[in-house]
Amino acid sequence: GLEIKKYQPSLSDYQLHYWHRERKRSNAEVDYVIAKQSSIFPLEVKSGATGHLRSLKIFLTDKGVDKGIKISQDNFSCFDNIQSIPFYAIEKFMKQ
């Protein structure tokens, strides 16, 4: 979260947002939801290389968002509509 905020204008009051859905037997949450270039991007942060990204996929479907971002130790990749970005490249993504 601090890394994401780091690349915002210094005088802005940039707020980080998350998404949480509670449903019987189907809770879901996305770590961060950011607005960038008139688009919304859900970001899921994973400490390891594994994970099913179920919540991220639910968000994309429920909200009609085209693209999700996974930030982890993995290298750059893209599968379906989820782009994987390594931790060290958060700056590049935020400055695009």
pLDDT of res. 49: 66
Residue 20 contacts residue 29 (beta carbons within 8 Å): yes
Half-sphere exposure of 89 (CA within 13 A, CB side): 15
| Euclidean distance between CA atoms 30 and 7, whole angstroms | 20
Residue 11's pLDDT band (boundaries 50, 70, 90)? low
Task: State mean pLDDT over 32-49.
Answer: 88
pTM, to two decimals: 0.85
pLDDT of res. 31: 96
| Euclidean distance between CA atoms 53 and 36, whole angstroms | 21
